[in-house]
Structure 1
Amino acid sequence: MKNQLRTFFRKLRVNIKERGTPRKRLLIFLAIGLVTFLTFAWFITSDSVQNKFKSGNPLFDVALVDDFTPPNEIKPDTEINKVVAAKNTEEIDAFVRLMVFPTALKDGEPFEVQLGDQVQLIGLDATKWKDGEDGYYYYLDKLAPGETSSNLFEKVKLVIPNEQKDNYKDVTFDIVAKTEAIHTRKYDYRISWWETDDPQTADPLKTIDETLAEKRAE
């Protein structure tokens, strides 16, 4: 399994590089919970990643809250408790965004899975979090020092139609989560996250930008 994972992430890095995806989407894994059911496996990982500001500010860290207890076995269409949120461990207010995406491995090769299709997030908080449709969910408020956000989601579910189950034999699934944070001063969140200090002009980022702009500090 370790050799397969090394091969998978090496090929994943190559695929991401070829597709032009920013390197910051390559994550360092902190914990893996592994369970199996028949020929299906699911390993859940999570990570809190510091984000270096392009405005020259020092590193700023917000912890990922990941409450997950691997069950003894999993079955497709069964909801599994997995709570993901963010906690401000710094001494100033922060804006936060979370990236969550699934990956899969079959015979040492990347296997395509989609969030919302084969892997579903259950209990999404659409009031305090908004999908930016850029790979991130944005928290629509500032986090005070020591404060924990509402849960982004509370459960996950593997969905595989009966007629496709043969295609998913020996596939190992992974859900990756990471946090990024920025202080709330001025429009530094725009520079850090979107590489511009200009307002966003297209939704859903326009709505996110306008919401955060009202809560920023001068």
Structure 2
Amino acid sequence: MRFKKLGSILSVVLISGLMVIPTGIASKVYASVSEAINKLIMVEDSVVNEFAAGVKIMVDEEFEEPKDWDGEKTKKIVTIPNQGTTPAFIRVAIVPRWEDENSNPWPGDVSSDVVKITYTKNTKWVNGNDGYYYYNEIVPGGEKTDSIIEDVELDTDKIDKEKYKGKSLIVDVKAEAVEASSEAYNAVWQGLNDNTKALLDKLLGITK
């Protein structure tokens, strides 16, 4: 979603990305959604993973498009449906970043003091403290997660408005899914911390 207001300091883009492991070695599916022009761009790598046959997810967004965006709180509801047939573990990374007028990376402030993302309270999402939020439930095929975020806001009082003029805020929503099995998550999500492994094992009924 990209919005510009004449004379405003910036535009905002909220992009959704997927990393799906459907069936054989490893696969990535990235979806970029520009809701302002209702255009969906998808690039798919067909390499697959044997641990995740039938896993297919997407990022589903509910977004209230402002006529002019100048940093005010903007509603953005994000859920992850499992469109496949295989029960899945799902994790999500929310990554803000900046681009300049030519869509090149730009070193803008993405701290939580400036880019304020409201995470949904009282849901099943658990912060893994590794850059990801993990869904504390196995998601069957045909069902979806609770929303992970509610809105995005920019504190324009904490940035140099002239410096940021014309720049774009990108909020990447990157979702990943693997088959709900210990073999799959250990093979694909390597390097998980003990708390996250305990969470996933508990969902599988594994006790140690």
Q: Which bracket does the TM-score occupy, shorter chain normalised?
A: 0.7 to 0.9
Alignment of structure 1 residues 144-155 onto 2, 5 Å: 144-155=140-151
- Aligned AA for 1:128? K
Question: Distance in 2 between the 1:70 and 1:172 partners?
Answer: 16
Specify whether residues 101 and 163 from structure 1 end up closer, same or farther in structure 2 by C-alpha distance, changes over 3 A only. closer
Residue 187 of structure 1 and its aligned partner are, at CA, apart by: 3.6
Question: Distance in 1 between the 2:11 and 2:155 partners?
Answer: 13
Structure 2 portions without partners, runs of 5+? 28-47
Question: Distance in 1 between the 2:183 and 2:112 partners?
Answer: 32
Q: Secondary structure at the match of 2:59?
A: strand
Structure 1 portions without partners, runs of 5+? 1-32
Is residue 79 from structure 1 mapped to residue 67 from structure 2 by the alignment? no
Q: Are 1:125 and 1:151, in contact at CA under 8 Å, matched by a contact in 2? A: no
Q: Secondary structure at the match of 1:148?
A: coil
Q: Secondary structure at the match of 1:63?
A: coil
| C-alpha RMSD of matched pairs (Å) | 2.5
Question: Distance in 1 between the 2:177 and 2:132 partners?
Answer: 12
Q: Are 2:2 and 2:14, in contact at CA under 8 Å, matched by a contact in 1? A: yes
- Aligned AA for 1:87? P
Q: In the alignment, what sits opposite 2:2?
A: 34
After the TM superposition, which parts of structure 1 deviate over 6 Å for at least 4 consecutive aligned residues? none
The CA deviation string for residues 122-176 of structure 1, in whole angstroms up to 9 with x for no partner, is 1434641122233221111110121111110111111232562232122111111
Q: Give the one of 56, 61, 78 matched to 1:66.
A: 61
Q: Give the one of 110, 119, 133 matched to 2:105.
A: 110
Q: Are 1:98 and 1:136, in contact at CA under 8 Å, matched by a contact in 2? A: yes
Q: Are 2:12 and 2:170, in contact at CA under 8 Å, matched by a contact in 1? A: yes
Q: Give the one of 175, 179, 184 matched to 1:179.
A: 175
- Aligned AA for 2:65? P
Q: Give the one of 95, 101, 112 matched to 1:101.
A: 95
Question: Distance in 2 between the 1:127 and 1:206 partners?
Answer: 22
Q: Are 2:114 and 2:159, in contact at CA under 8 Å, matched by a contact in 1? A: no
Q: In the alignment, what sits opposite 2:137?
A: 141
- Aligned AA for 1:70? E
Q: In the alignment, what sits opposite 2:33?
A: none
Q: Secondary structure at the match of 1:209?
A: helix
The CA deviation string for residues 109-133 of structure 1, in whole angstroms up to 9 with x for no partner, is 4222325232221143464112223
Q: Are 1:104 and 1:172, in contact at CA under 8 Å, matched by a contact in 2? A: yes
Q: Give the one of 179, 187, 190 matched to 1:191.
A: 187
Q: In the alignment, what sits opposite 1:216?
A: 204
Q: Give the number of the structure whose residues are more often helix, by fraction.
A: 1
Q: Are 2:114 and 2:158, in contact at CA under 8 Å, matched by a contact in 1? A: no
Question: Distance in 2 between the 1:162 and 1:176 partners?
Answer: 22
Question: Distance in 1 between the 2:201 and 2:75 partners?
Answer: 34
The CA deviation string for residues 39-84 of structure 1, in whole angstroms up to 9 with x for no partner, is 31112221333232897335632121111232111122x2101111
Paired residues in the alignment total: 177
Question: Distance in 2 between the 1:215 and 1:140 partners?
Answer: 8
Q: Secondary structure at the match of 1:87?
A: coil
Q: TM-score, normalization: structure 2? A: 0.74
Q: Are 2:82 and 2:139, in contact at CA under 8 Å, matched by a contact in 1? A: yes
- Aligned AA for 2:3? V
Residue 107 of structure 1 and its aligned partner are, at CA, apart by: 4.2
